[in-house]
Amino acid sequence: QEVLQSDKPVLLDFWASWCGPCRMVSPIVDEIAEEHPEFKVCKVNVDEASTLASEFSVMSIPTLVVMKNGEIADSHIGLTSKSAIVGMLENANK
């Protein structure tokens, strides 16, 4: 509900503790959460929330999904840069 009814873009970070690239992207996602209050940031542990990961068809991690108005606006699989993630969120905010 929090994600689907959010009035601002939401970044979902699908990750797992055993995933090396996930551990590399995690501090980037944390920085974005701190520096950009205009976005909502949520981390989803795929081992603890496998049903949610299935609903988003997450097959590989890390998977980053940007939601806007309850719809998927953008997504990226794998490690990516902070600027690319912020760009995805800013594009969804237009």
Residue 21 to residue 3: CA distance in whole angstroms: 24
Give the catalytic positions in this structure. 19, 22
| Alpha helices in the chain, H assignment, sequence order | 20-35, 50-55, 82-92
What residues contact residue 60 under an 8 Å CB cut-off, 6+ apart? Answer: 77, 78
Residue 68 to residue 4: CA distance in whole angstroms: 8
